[in-house]
Structure 1
């Protein structure tokens, strides 16, 4: 909001003192001094990232997010992020490892490496191998941070199909700490809609990526994002999305009906769909998602899964909850004071579309 509106916010809401973009978080003290001096302040101009920028909030004492790349260079026609978060800026591998080492020493067990387009990590960093390959890729980063003491699990998000490589998939299969879970948004199963979205790939390429993942890691969980009701989407094009979901069988799918975002090309197009059509398609997609997720859940029944205990079940204080390596939420009886932060073997006794129940093995 600050990046998008800037000084216009001060004109619309004159009682505001300060409008600040996220990349200025480490300047807050100086900016407040200007406010205390009687000025209205706008700090939204692009700046290069600095390593003393405020660290992300830790909602858990066991799992943490670590930003590895800021901004986005993509120009998806429905998305406002590139315009408000600026160009891609990667942190150095050394800075990322140092933050992970600190987290490991503080007792964190799981880290998710985070970026708006994480597969683009390192494109803006120097370094070429003798073979001519860029040596600061996400794959290289995974190898570089894999042995950080105390960190037992590593995840990463969010991926872009345009940059998802077989080398990255092979690294995930080779590195024991990298979890068997891939979040790769596809947004639409129709090539014409993907072209209108400016996504830069086809549904055939997306399917090849999933096939490659399942060749290296057959049991991997696949999650994604999808948009229905994009401007101009026909019923036949929507059914191509349904077909992709039916064929792949996602473990989880974040779905949304398209909504116009100010400042994006698609918001200005005349071929917008009605809310009734968008709502109908969203309901149909969600029904299929739940059906396929339930089918995928069946493979967990009677299996022993390693669960990282994160919290007490808020609906049942006799249970604790955590996640499998494949990111499936799991509940089982236990004392949170005894089990919090532990990796516990659990036999799965009950499966649902998006969560599991089990019992601890002695």
Structure 2
């Protein structure tokens, strides 16, 4: 090792990966490493990878290729590939990039220090075997100083026909309510104002934990957890993601309505608006069931923000089936929608089907969907005009440094004039004067925290 120990982590993909990267950064800083923005200055580089879509995977290989060349000149450079590509490829990654020192799946994020000890002892290490995720005592190096991720369940037991997540992130493992609450209390002591509870399939939380009530209901659910952690002092806002329509209950909706700190923002992927495609995807619900969930949310919380994920060009999708997706988007009117053209992934059933859609058709459908999404999001934004929204200030507006930016309860990015030093981490009432499809601008009514 060289005298100064510098590290860089590049993160691809989902919020779970971002949370894993923050924990790995915390471990590296405990080991005496310092963060550097420039990977070319670092003597330890971690790529925390995503395999959901092919382009993210290809990007990793191009980054890796550049650093592998550098390692031939600087043999003390340590190269680590973590996350889902690491889990999926395992030892094949070493054959493809022999300069790699450590290949580790997402379940091993908490063990980075002991795995690096093996590397520094001269070994090339592959850690992809399934393990029980032990409770983490690492203090993450969090990117934000206002909002913090908290993993509550790892893995996924679903078997969607297009998705590689269960094979790379393993089976569901819930953390205990006590350990989650202890982490949130610690986050509050550090001055954070908002937590986002994370899970690949967050509504499945607790079903692998022992215990039932006298009525036979399972003792540990996401709803129970929200009640249990709600009153942690210092935390003003609680969010959670990602939900699965199959497990989304009215009891959970009522809890979100009753608990003042839980944000009225729901991220519930629907993936397709067509029942036959949903069946082929093995999603386990119909578009009618999905619409019913949204109707219930809006019954209790008329102004709740709804975001979702959708896939176009799934194998066999006809034009009419795609129209059914457009109809659902038209009818519901999402505040935000993450869209993607179907991308065949290794070790998934749908990748092997012979009714794949052409890239041209997929791209055409994606553009048409995105066009509709922007129109509907613009319409949904109108409800904010001239209203007062509570905005949690996070940062400066990079495009106009006289403005700060933060998010409303409904997760809408909002800009207004103010001094970040004074306002960071405060919830400020802002009158909205300008609305766009995905962001707002307003004027602070008071620069004193609400």
Task: State the match for 2:409 in structure 1.
Answer: 325
Offset, 1:22: 2.5
Task: State the match for 1:315 in structure 2.
Answer: 399
Matched, 1:152 2:224: no
Task: State the match for 2:182 in structure 1.
Answer: 98
How many corresponding residue pairs? 362
Offset, 1:8: 1.7
Task: State the match for 1:64 in structure 2.
Answer: 148
Give the alignment partner of residue 190 of structure 1, picking from 274, 280, 285: 274
Offset, 1:57: 4.6
State the TM-score, normalized to the length of structure 1: 0.98
State the TM-score, normalized to the length of structure 2: 0.79
Give the alignment partner of residue 288 of structure 2, picking from 204, 213, 220: 204
Q: Provide closer, same or farther for how the CA distance between residues 355 and 186 of structure 1 changes in structure 2, counting only shifts above 3 A.
A: same
Task: State the match for 1:24 in structure 2.
Answer: 108
- Structure-2 separation of matches of 1:4 and 1:285: 31
Q: Is the 8 A contact 1:56 1:65 kept in 2?
A: no
Structure 1 residue ranges (4+ consecutive) displaced by more than 6 angstroms after TM superposition: none
- Cα deviation per residue 1:247-299 (whole Å; 9 max; x = unaligned)? 00111111111111111111111111111111111111111111111111111
- Structure-1 separation of matches of 2:119 and 2:102: 7
- Cα deviation per residue 1:191-220 (whole Å; 9 max; x = unaligned)? 000001000000000000001001111110
Offset, 1:23: 2.1
Structure 1 unpaired stretches of 5+ = none
Classify the secondary structure of the residue corresponding to 2:149.
strand
- Structure-2 separation of matches of 1:205 and 1:253: 19
Give the alignment partner of residue 263 of structure 1, picking from 347, 351, 354: 347
Q: Is the 8 A contact 1:25 1:53 kept in 2?
A: no
Task: State the match for 2:366 in structure 1.
Answer: 282
- Structure-1 separation of matches of 2:140 and 2:117: 24
- Structure-1 separation of matches of 2:365 and 2:110: 44
- Higher normalized contact order (CA 8 Å, seq sep 6+, divided by chain length): 1
Bigger mean CA offset, 54-63 vs 311-320? 54-63
Matched, 1:84 2:168: yes
Classify the secondary structure of the residue corresponding to 1:206.
helix
Aligned CA-pair RMSD = 1.1
Task: State the match for 1:232 in structure 2.
Answer: 316
Q: Provide closer, same or farther for how the CA distance between residues 133 and 76 of structure 1 changes in structure 2, counting only shifts above 3 A.
A: same
- Structure-2 separation of matches of 1:247 and 1:116: 27
Q: Provide closer, same or farther for how the CA distance between residues 209 and 129 of structure 1 changes in structure 2, counting only shifts above 3 A.
A: same
Give the alignment partner of residue 168 of structure 1, picking from 237, 240, 252: 252
- Structure-1 separation of matches of 2:119 and 2:304: 51
- Structure-1 separation of matches of 2:415 and 2:120: 50
Matched, 1:243 2:327: yes
- Structure-2 separation of matches of 1:17 and 1:334: 47
Structure 2 unpaired stretches of 5+ = 1-84
Task: State the match for 1:12 in structure 2.
Answer: 96
Matched, 1:124 2:208: yes
